[in-house]
Amino acid sequence: MQRIFLFFIKYNGVFAFFILEVIALSIYFTRNNNANTQAFLSSANGMVGGVYESTSRVARYWNLSAVNDSLARENAELKMRLPSSKFSSLIQTNTKEDTTLQQYYQYYDAKVVNNTIHRPRNYLTINKGAAQGLNANSGVLNGNGMGIVGVVQKVSNNYAVAMSILNLDTRISAKVLGNNNFGVMVWDGLDSRYMNLESVPKHTTINKGDTVITSGYSTIFPEGILIGTIDSFYRPPGVNFYSIKVALFNDLNNTEYVYVVSNLLKEERLKLEEEVIND
């Protein structure tokens, strides 16, 4: 489509000459009104109208793309203003509490330029990288606000490759909305529409249709990001955990726009936890 647009720009003089020629012929034949003249004018007008319509479609296409990019950037900025993207810093001063909000998560809009869903280990490439502020181990969310997409693995200056949630190595901390019992989202490599929630204790009360969200226990995804709904579940004999099948909210096959979310306090938390483990 871009080549067609550039073609019109490169040869705009030829098209202008063609249109002026048609106008001149129209004026000439108008003075000689007969059936053949009318037939010619009708055909000429149809050709000119077709050219204008094609040019208009190209212009509308590129304008729509620009609008989508602009909306994606604005949504990313709005997400950073949400309370879930900030944390309270409490300062005690002579029994007076001063509360200030500090940024917790940073959001970046991006477009998917490559994606696979039919392999055992799937990945996707997005058009933003280190030059735009992206880092490895950042979460990737669906651009429509429903569902998670993956985790950034590597970044170059202007691109990033993320491990899709449709990957046998995927491990996403998640929980059922309404209770605090968390588990791990994994993919079995069979169906791109479903994932499995493992390690949820069997004493937990769950129902078909319950919503599954991110737990917030990892440093990758904020708490409360929608993942999907419980499609079915059962308790295998001799096992203390449910086997839960989750229907995903998002279709990874047609994901076009995404948001990359970066935890600004990740390094501080990981460093502290590592120090405790090594003590």
Q: Any idea what the CATH number is for the domain that residue 235 is in?
A: 2.40.10.340
Sign (positive/negative) of CA torsion 171, 270, 143, 156? negative
Same-domain pairing of 241 and 161: yes
Least confident of 13-17, 35-39, 69-73: 35-39
Q: Is pLDDT of 93 > 90?
A: no
- Looking at residue 139, what is its pLDDT? 96
> Could you tell me the pLDDT band of residue 238, with boundaries at 50, 70 and 90?
confident
Same-domain pairing of 74 and 131: no
Q: Is pLDDT of 19 > 80?
A: no
Tell me if residue 248 falls in helix, strand or coil: strand
Same-domain pairing of 149 and 14: no
Tokens of 15: 């098209």
Q: Higher confidence at residue 47 or residue 126?
A: 126
Q: Is pLDDT of 214 > 70?
A: yes
User: What integer best gives the mean pLDDT of the chain?
Assistant: 78
Q: Is pLDDT of 24 > 50?
A: yes
Report the C-alpha gap between 170 and 188 in whole angstroms: 10
Q: Is pLDDT of 232 > 70?
A: yes
**Is 90 within a domain?**
no
> Could you tell me the pLDDT band of residue 269, with boundaries at 50, 70 and 90?
confident
- Looking at residue 16, what is its pLDDT? 59
Domain boundary among 36, 65, 80: 80
Q: Higher confidence at residue 79 or residue 102?
A: 102
| Domain span at 48 | 2-80
> Could you tell me the pLDDT band of residue 50, with boundaries at 50, 70 and 90?
low
Q: Is pLDDT of 71 > 70?
A: no
Closest CA to 230 of 251, 213, 250: 213
Least confident of 21-25, 152-156, 226-230: 21-25
Same-domain pairing of 44 and 178: no
Q: What domain count does the chain have?
A: 2
Q: Which residues contact 227 (CB under 8 A, 6 or more apart)?
A: 147, 148, 172, 174, 185, 195, 212, 213, 214, 246, 248, 249
Same-domain pairing of 141 and 223: yes
pLDDT in tens, 104-145: 899 999 999 999 999 999 999 999 999 999 999 999 999 988
**Is 126 within a domain?**
yes
Q: What is the pTM of this model?
A: 0.66
Same-domain pairing of 208 and 150: yes
Domain boundary among 63, 80, 97: 80
**Is 51 within a domain?**
yes
Report the C-alpha gap between 207 and 242 in whole angstroms: 12
Q: How far is CA 244 from CA 15, 39, 164, 174, 252, in A?
A: 62, 70, 20, 12, 20
Q: Is pLDDT of 194 > 70?
A: yes
Q: Is pLDDT of 62 > 60?
A: no
What mean pLDDT do residues 49-55 have? 50
- Looking at residue 115, what is its pLDDT? 96
Other C-beta atoms closer than 10 Å to the C-beta of 257 total: 17
- Looking at residue 113, what is its pLDDT? 96
Same-domain pairing of 127 and 74: no
Cβ atoms of residues 226 and 273 within 8 Å: no
- Looking at residue 40, what is its pLDDT? 47
> Could you tell me the pLDDT band of residue 70, with boundaries at 50, 70 and 90?
low
Tokens of 239: 């096992």
- The vertex-236 CA angle with 234 and 239, nearest 5°, equals 125
DSSP, residue by residue, 153-185: EEE-SS-EEEEEEEETT--EEEEETTS--EEEE
Q: Is pLDDT of 55 > 70?
A: no
Same-domain pairing of 110 and 185: yes
In the chain, % of residues over pLDDT 90: 51
- Looking at residue 163, what is its pLDDT? 98
Listed as own residue / partner, the contacts of 11-20 with beta carbons closer than 8 Å and 24 or more positions apart are: 15/51, 18/51, 19/48, 19/51
DSSP one-letter code for 220: S
Q: Is pLDDT of 49 > 60?
A: no
Q: Is pLDDT of 15 > 80?
A: no
**Is 193 within a domain?**
yes
